[in-house]
Amino acid sequence: MSLLGPTLIVLATVAAMEFVAWSSHKYVMHGFGWAWHRDHHELHDKLLEKNDLYAVFGAGISIGMFAVGSPLVMGASAWWPGTWIGLGVLIYGVIYTLIHDGLVHQRYFRWVPKRGYAKRLVQAHKLHHATIGKEGGVSFGFVVARDPAALKRELKAQRQSGIAVLREAVED
């Protein structure tokens, strides 16, 4: 069997997961799932957050796809792409954990980037945390980070229109 198909499925899944993460962060976590996500936006000194339950949910999706793709679990009805989709979800989960929890929130290691894309990721996510509550906000993705200057302009416009309440004034 050629590795091209499985490799493309894994890569496509990793890429698609950023859209899944962005949309679930914006519409679920900052919507009806705010009860789990709220503590992520509040200062605390706990090791774990209710928000970490979303990672458990993501792991369940990955495990489920591995199961769907496994002949040991599904027998003759196994769907071979399931294994590779499960691997793509798993890889995205590792990337998310290293970037979001590790780099941005410093949960596992201490390193503050001074330049480059890593600095942009940190800046974009700090701007995401600039709002109070679940309303408004910018930068809902975890791996793709837009220009911080554009995000600041969006936050300023949200504040002026009453959509978002900011922790502090966002300057141009």
Look at the chain and report how many structural domains it folds into.
2
Are residues 148 and 129 located together in one domain of the fold?
A: yes
Token readout for 113 is 């980037």
Based on the domain organization, do 38 and 63 belong to the same domain? yes
- Secondary structure class of 74 (helix, strand, coil): helix
Do 97 and 18 share a structural domain? yes
Residues 107 and 117 in one domain: no
| DSSP letters for 11-47 | HHHHHHHHHHHHHHIIIIIIIITHHHHGGGGS----S
Domain boundary, last residue among 89, 111, 133: 111
Give the pLDDT of residue 171. Answer: 55
pLDDT of residue 46: 87
What's the pLDDT tens digit per position in 61-92? 999 999 999 999 999 999 999 999 999 999 99
Among 70, 85, 111, the domain-final residue is 111
128 and 154 in a common domain = yes
Cβ contact 14:92 at 8 Å: yes
| Structural domain that includes position 71 | 1-111
Answer yes or no: do 106 and 134 share one domain.
no
Structure tokens at 72: 């040991």
The pLDDT of residue 1 is: 65
Q: pLDDT at position 45, please?
A: 85
Classify strands 165-166 and 131-132 as parallel, antiparallel or unpaired.
antiparallel
Q: Are 85 and 42 within one domain?
A: yes
| The one-letter amino acid at 23 | S
Q: 131 φ, ψ to 5°? A: -90, 155
The verdict on 42 and 124 lying in the same domain is no
| Sequence-separated (6 or more) residues with CB below 8 Å from residue 146 | 124, 138, 139
Shared domain for 57 and 1, answered yes or no, is yes
* Residues 22 and 49 occupy one common structural domain: yes
Same domain for 43 and 78, yes or no, is yes
| Domain identity same for 128 and 59 | no
- The pLDDT, as a whole number, for residue 172 is 47
Residue 128 has pLDDT above 60, yes or no: yes
Across the range 11-33, mean pLDDT stands at 97
Last residue of a domain, one of 83, 111, 139: 111
Contact at 8 Å (CB) between 120 and 20?
Answer: no
pLDDT digits 0-9 by tens, 33-49: 999 999 999 988 888 99
